[in-house]
Chains A and B, each alone.
Chain A
């Protein structure tokens, strides 16, 4: 069955620190997709990135980077030089191409960036 674990419930950092949010997944499928979403205090979830299981290249987008490692079933998200506006709940999600019928979201990690 699909499962997504985000072991860090809450993280607090001081502005300009780097922070990594962990995501570990379980799947029996060989083709699957991983996602990160941001939910700021306003409440609306915002899509950040999608990665398919055949593409293990790390991705960088500005201060954001993602490290996908199939060997450890992890898809970690790093924010470099964090800013107060990064404060939000971050969700990792998984969908399976062949077995799953829907998305499975992790429980989320609440990130607080303090000035």
Chain B
């Protein structure tokens, strides 16, 4: 079946502009995660959605970052007033179950460059 898809694959934006990154999880997966990976670094957790529960936003680095998940499926990560330090690859993952025991399946990522 189809895996996790993300769009766009690359995004170049000017400092101060807003950007929206999209994630389509695997059909039937109830959990969705966003991570940020800076060049040569590990994964930084941003936000976690599980079904209809309130999302875990504990990883969002500032109030310029927000995310939504509509209808329990597609998710959008929005970064307002982008800064150069926001440049990174943004990864989305989904998993089947409602517990953290389930493995995550990752999308190809969106490479964001803020100039």
| A residues lining the B interface (CB < 8 Å) | 33, 35, 37, 42-47, 50, 52, 91, 95-97, 100-108
A91 and B56 form a contact (CB under 8 A): no
Q: Select which of A91, A97, A104 is within 8 A of B45 by beta carbon.
A: A104
Number of interface residues of B (CB under 8 A): 24
Chief secondary structure at chain B's binding surface: loop
B101 and A102 form a contact (CB under 8 A): no
Complex CA distance for A45 and B6, rounded to whole angstroms: 13
Across the A-B interface, give the 7 residue pairs with the lowest CB-CB distance, nearest first. Answer: A95-B100, A45-B106, A107-B42, A105-B43, A47-B103, A33-B101, A102-B45
Nearest CB of A to B69, in Å: 15
| Across-interface contacts of A101 in B (CB, < 8 A) | 48, 56, 58
Contact A33/B100 with A101-B56, A102-B58 known, Cβ cut-off 8 Å: yes
A50 and B106 form a contact (CB under 8 A): no
B43 and A44 form a contact (CB under 8 A): no
| B residues lining the A interface (CB < 8 Å) | 33, 35, 41-43, 45, 48, 56, 58-59, 89, 91, 93, 99-109
Complex CA distance for A96 and B99, rounded to whole angstroms: 10
| Across-interface contacts of B33 in A (CB, < 8 A) | 102-103
Nearest CB of B to A32, in Å: 9
Nearest CB of B to A49, in Å: 9
